Amino acid sequence: MRNKLLIISPLEDERAAIKEILSPDKWTALEAANSGEALSVVKSEGEGVTAVIFAVAADEIDFFTFAKDAARYAASAKIPAMVIADKDSVELKLMAFDFGICDVMIKPIAADILRQRIKNITDASRSREALGNIIRLQKREFHRYKQPILDGLRSMMEYNNLESGRHIKRMQLFTQTLLEEVVRRYPEYGIDDNHILMIAEAASLHDIGKSAVPETILNKPGPLTAQEFDIMKTHAQQGYEILENLNKNAENCDRLFMRYAMDICLYHHERWDGRGYPKGLTGDTIPIHAQTVGLVDCYDALTNDRIYRKAISHGDACTMIIDGKCGAFSPRLLACFKNVKNTFLELSEAYSDNPSAASTAEPPVYGLRPAVKREMAQEAKLFDDRGCDNGAASNFIGVNRYLDDANLTLIYTGCGFFDLFKYTKEEIASRFHNHYLEMIYPPDRQRLLSSFKKYVAADSPFELVYRVMAKGGTLVWVLDKTVSLVDGDGVRYYSSLLIDITKIKEREEILLRSLERYKIIIDQSNDIIFEWDIMSDEFFISPNWYKKYDYQPAGSGVKIKENPCVHPDDVQAVRRILDAMSTGTAYMEEELRIADNLGNYHWGRVRATALFDEMGNPFRVIGVIMDIDSDRRQTYELRIKAERDSLTKLYNKNTGREQVERHLQTMVPGDMGAMFIIDVDNFKHINDSYGHMFGDAVLSKLAENISSIFRSSDVVSRIGGDEFMVFMPHIPNAATAYSHAEQILNAFGGILHENMYSRNLSCSIGVAIATSEENDFQSLFSHADQALYQAKRCGKNNYVAYGERTEAVPQMEDSGASSRTSGSSIESENQLGVNPSEMLRLTFDTLRERGGFDSALNLILNIIGKMFNVSRAYIFESTEDGLYVNNTYEWCNDGIEPQITLLVNIPILDFGGDYRKNFNEEGIFYCPNLEDCSEELQELLGAQGILSTLQVSITEEGKFKGFVGFDDCVIHRLWTQDQINALVFIARLISEIICERRGSGQ
């Protein structure tokens, strides 16, 4: 297997860095500094190179030339290529993909993502290569399977004395000759050389329906009665149905060939003026290939002996056809016939039903195309009515009859039978006693006899596949088309047509091995292979789908369109693929989210390739669904980290500016926007008095409140410690901006009241209006900043609009805010009436005075819970093996539902992931707002009604033993640093007592 990566970069350090990143995956790295070196490496290594990585600096190298070279080198050896560029742009990516580059990464490079994306493009390349091999093999098999089917059908016609071998060959050559003239004179029919040969071959089956007509009518020497002629006319419909059934049930039939053959069977007796049968079609509503075969059939019937009349001369036959004595034909077709009638005469003489009448020398072929001349020269002697006496029998076809007895005794064997198995008649009699069963391969005998019993009861023709022992010990696979009959004495026998399918079976074995290799490739990757038959609208999808998504998808294109199992935003992508591929698009690629059985979405990359028939119409789509979920999520997380503020999850300063500038650049005349710069008043006092953890919680709550005021299309960002910037595009007037500024002021006022603090927060806001004429970011920001400082100078807790409002808006009525602006500090003592010293004294006294350990702990939780007015206080303890935790103690405030009986033997690793990772290095897990936690934690804690939580781990010798926790199920609580410190101290004290009790075995 190829395992070499070619790394191309003009910088040696960069090549070394990429090589180091990829070293864990055991790639052999090849290096090149420029395009010339790269070409040399590709030429020398050949198919040994798995993928090519181009690291390019857009400002140093002409990327256009570089990418073009990349695509050329990669395509020459069918190697997938990736580009790593310094700068990101849509133009760069479009240009790269246009040149055939598989993927584009932008620096800086994340090692895990680079390794995964290299794996993705190499896996996809290998899957495409395997798919291509399978597709090519299948297309070859379509054509190989067709010939034995044709041989069998033709032999059946000969066996039933319907047509001679020479008649079949004449029909093919007459049809080919006439169609070539039609195409030469009337190219608008759109028939090319390949189709001519296909139609000529299909012409040999034009009367296959006569096998369903009673022999008494078929071989009647005199004229038919009206009733008999009505029965005879059914052969057109009967032939169509025979081939239609074959087309449905034979997987490897060539669909276009069968379409031609079915048309010819059904319509070759239709006539131009509508007086034909069975449909009474007129003009060019009759397919041109059926019109052609209809005229050819008339000519051959007139110029050769039939059981009901003798042949007439070539000249008389041509006159009857041209004069309409055989029914009306297309004027165009008659004009073409006049031009080739001499060629018809030559072919008629060369392939006469009377071999003695034909010249033993090479037949005259003047005026025929070279391909027809060669075919006649090679095959003129191979066709005879039966061919037994001149050694011309087919090596593939054998005819025999045998009795319905224990040994299947042979009563008739055709010469093809002897050629098929290489035995003489005498050898079969002496060695096998004329017992056909003895010739059949022993492991197949019992199955064959059982099949006879089953099908005889059904009293209909049937097919069997088995092996026969030929001379020399070789095994011959045969397709046995058999019918059970009864002779005049009431003796049952089988009439059998044998077709040699040994080569087909060998090819099947090769195909099965290829498919097995292909299956191994599929099983070893996570990719999902799918196949869509456009004509039947049937979908096949590999088992990897069920493994990944745990359900079976819809089985047709229509159903997939109606219920595509994808994210609502991606439904159109699925429909685009199906519609485009069914209308002739050769290749498509889409990325979309697919739902699993639980409704969770996973990102996948769909790559689809269409297969086309000889007419250029798409008939099948084969593709792959690659799992890119991890890649997309990692990319998304990295983008979020790069764009968002880690505390508030708002846009950071740089991203906020980029978003605003993007809006400003798209403003049109008459458009208006507004920028707000928001500064929290006296925020330093919050941090100094309550601690930074409390301050961070306040900032997160402020960010949430500000975001709730604005639209999803507005830009909200944190640009400093306690400063925020907001931009509202497309507002109707300035009053809208001022209204939002007032809403922000109001939103600040109630934040601490929610957490039962007596003081309020406030902010100062500067507002600047943007228009299509004044839309420079730097100027707009400067104006809003100047307005902000004007608001600060005017007493804070208000907003000022630049330019339009020169005086500050009157200060909001808030005594708390006023006291803070005058310089007073925010005190933390006596908040909620909590005195840490008193709380600790009560705790020690309780533990010392209470006689029972459990009742003491319950009382402590009661005291702490009421002091801090929390919803629930509790203790979780781990099991001895450390794999589970149990809620062992709990106190609940009024109206809070207890959880202690529900939270028993909870696996730590299933507790929203590894629950221990939620605690920081100090053993504290503090979550003021559950919505800021992971989805797993939201599901776990939300089920208990928790909005905020503070938990402290219980550890012993560095090992996790449980935790003490305090929940609020009423508000999003903001804990002060003093409160956190006090609760942590109490939790640690409880932890030591619990660990001491564990050690004593109590």
**Measured between alpha carbons, how far is 796 from 794 in angstroms, rounded to an integer?**
6
Tell me the per-residue pLDDT of 649-698, one tens digit each, with 9 for 90 and over.
899 998 999 999 999 999 999 899 999 999 998 888 877 777 777 888 88
Q: Which helix (H) or strand (E) holds 609?
A: strand 601-612
Q: Give residue for tokens 């609502």.
A: 568
**Measured between alpha carbons, how far is 390 from 350 in angstroms, rounded to an integer?**
17
Angle between helices 692-709 and 977-1000 (to 10 degrees): 120
Q: Are 948 and 927 in contact (CB under 8 A)?
A: yes
**Measured between alpha carbons, how far is 22 from 925 in angstroms, rounded to an integer?**
37
Is the pLDDT at 821 greater than 50, yes or no?
A: no
User: Strand order in 884-892's β-sheet?
Assistant: 906-907, 884-892, 872-878, 959-968, 948-956, 924-927
Phi/psi at 323 (5° precision): -80, 0
Tell me the per-residue pLDDT of 964-993, one tens digit each, with 9 for 90 and over.
999 999 888 877 777 788 888 888 878 877
Is the pLDDT at 143 greater than 70, yes or no?
A: no
Give the N- to C-terminal CA distance of the chain in Å, as an integer: 64
Decide: pTM greater than 0.95.
no
CA angle 439, 440, 441 (to 5 degrees): 115
Q: Choose from 30-44, 110-124, 145-159, 817-831 the range with maximum mean pLDDT.
A: 110-124
H helical segments located in 459-535: 502-524
Cβ atoms within 10 Å of 931's Cβ, excluding its own: 12
Measured over the CA atoms of residue 321, residue 327, residue 330 and residue 331, the dihedral's sign is: positive
Can you name the residues that pair with 833 across neighbouring β-strands?
A: none
> pLDDT-based confidence at 6, cuts 50/70/90?
confident
The pLDDT value given to residue 636? 76
Is the pLDDT at 213 greater than 90, yes or no?
A: no
The yes-or-no answer on residue 722 being catalytic is: yes
Could you tell me which residue, 735 or 775, shows the higher pLDDT? Answer: 735
**Measured between alpha carbons, how far is 197 from 190 in angstroms, rounded to an integer?**
14
Hey, what domains does the chain have and what are their CATH numbers? 4-126 (3.40.50.2300), 161-351 (1.10.3210.10), 397-501 (3.30.450.20), 525-633 (3.30.450.20), 644-801 (3.30.70.270), 836-1000 (3.30.450.40)
Q: Give residue for tokens 């533990």.
A: 847
Query: Which of 355-359, 556-560, 646-650, 730-734 has the lowest average pLDDT?
Result: 355-359
Could you tell me which residue, 754 or 526, shows the higher pLDDT? Answer: 526
Could you tell me which residue, 459 or 21, shows the higher pLDDT? Answer: 21
Calculate what percentage of the chain has a pLDDT beyond 70. 78
Is the pLDDT at 369 greater than 50, yes or no?
A: no
Beta strand pairing call for 872-878 and 799-801: unpaired
**742 Cα distance to chain centroid:** 51
Is the pLDDT at 724 greater than 70, yes or no?
A: yes
Q: Are 638 and 743 in contact (CB under 8 A)?
A: no
Tell me the per-residue pLDDT of 90-110, one tens digit each, with 9 for 90 and over.
777 777 776 677 888 888 888
User: Strand order in 528-533's β-sheet?
Assistant: 538-541, 528-533, 618-627, 601-612, 587-595
The pLDDT value given to residue 69? 59
Measured over the CA atoms of residue 472, residue 475, residue 476 and residue 479, the dihedral's sign is: positive
**Measured between alpha carbons, how far is 198 from 379 in angstroms, rounded to an integer?**
18
Residue tagged active-site, from 69, 207, 679, 722: 722
**Measured between alpha carbons, how far is 832 from 830 in angstroms, rounded to an integer?**
6
Taking alpha carbons only, the member of 647, 744, 644 closest to residue 694 is: 647
Phi/psi at 85 (5° precision): -115, 160
The pLDDT value given to residue 104? 85
The pLDDT value given to residue 967? 93
Q: Choose from 75-89, 370-384, 607-621, 665-679 the range with maximum mean pLDDT.
A: 665-679
Task: Give the three-class secondary structure for 930.
Answer: helix
Tell me the per-residue pLDDT of 404-417, one tens digit each, with 9 for 90 and over.
899 999 988 877 78
Residue 219 tokens, joined = 């071989």
> pLDDT-based confidence at 386, cuts 50/70/90?
very low
> pLDDT-based confidence at 528, cuts 50/70/90?
confident
DSSP for 256-317, written as a single string: HHHHHHHHHHHHTT--TTS--SSS---GGGS-HHHHHHHHHHHHHHHHS-BTTB----HHHH
Could you tell me which residue, 374 or 686, shows the higher pLDDT? Answer: 686
The pLDDT value given to residue 440? 94
H helical segments located in 898-976: 935-942
> pLDDT-based confidence at 765, cuts 50/70/90?
very high
Q: Are 303 and 320 in contact (CB under 8 A)?
A: no
When the pLDDT of each residue in the chain is averaged and rounded to a whole number, the result is 78
The pLDDT value given to residue 964? 92
The pLDDT value given to residue 598? 86
The pLDDT value given to residue 256? 81
Calculate what percentage of the chain has a pLDDT beyond 90. 23
Could you tell me which residue, 721 or 839, shows the higher pLDDT? Answer: 721
Residue 124 tokens, joined = 């996809």
Q: How many Cα atoms occupy the beta-carbon half-sphere of 863 within 13 Å? A: 21
**Measured between alpha carbons, how far is 176 from 180 in angstroms, rounded to an integer?**
6
Could you tell me which residue, 966 or 78, shows the higher pLDDT? Answer: 966
Compute the radius of gyration of the chain from its Cα atoms: 44
Is the pLDDT at 373 greater than 80, yes or no?
A: no
> b vs e for 475-500, b when ≥16 Cβ sit within 10 Å of the residue's Cβ?
ebbbbbbbebeeeeeeeebbbbbbbb
Q: Quick one: 186 exposed, middle or buried, by C-beta within 10 A (0-12, 13-18, 19+)?
A: middle
In the 8-state DSSP scheme, what is residue 39? H
Q: Choose from 521-525, 568-572, 759-763 the range with maximum mean pLDDT.
A: 568-572
Which residues, 6 or more positions from 530, have their beta carbon under 8 angstroms from its beta carbon? 539, 540, 541, 542, 545, 622, 623, 624, 625
Query: Which of 65-79, 370-384, 635-649 has the lowest average pLDDT?
Result: 370-384
Query: Which of 128-132, 348-352, 368-372, 871-875 has the lowest average pLDDT?
Result: 368-372
**Measured between alpha carbons, how far is 798 from 778 in angstroms, rounded to an integer?**
24
Is the pLDDT at 709 greater than 80, yes or no?
A: yes
Q: What's the whole-number mean pLDDT along residues 730-759?
A: 80
The pLDDT value given to residue 391? 32
Q: Choose from 448-462, 617-631, 633-647, 726-740 the range with maximum mean pLDDT.
A: 726-740
**Measured between alpha carbons, how far is 32 from 6 in angstroms, rounded to an integer?**
7
CA angle 871, 874, 878 (to 5 degrees): 150
Tell me the per-residue pLDDT of 768-818, one tens digit each, with 9 for 90 and over.
999 988 888 988 998 999 999 889 888 888 999 998 644 444 444 443 333
**Measured between alpha carbons, how far is 863 from 136 in angstroms, rounded to an integer?**
80
Which residues, 6 or more positions from 399, have their beta carbon under 8 angstroms from its beta carbon? 155, 159, 412, 413, 414, 416, 417, 496, 497, 498
The pLDDT value given to residue 983? 80
Counting every residue written for the chain, the total comes to 1002
The pLDDT value given to residue 825? 27
The pLDDT value given to residue 816? 37
Task: Determine if residue 51 is left, alpha or beta; phi over 0 gives left, psi from -120 to 50 gives alpha, anything else beta.
Answer: beta
**Measured between alpha carbons, how far is 49 from 899 in angstroms, rounded to an integer?**
61
Taking alpha carbons only, the member of 92, 89, 94, 77 closest to residue 38 is: 77
**Measured between alpha carbons, how far is 317 from 955 in angstroms, rounded to an integer?**
109
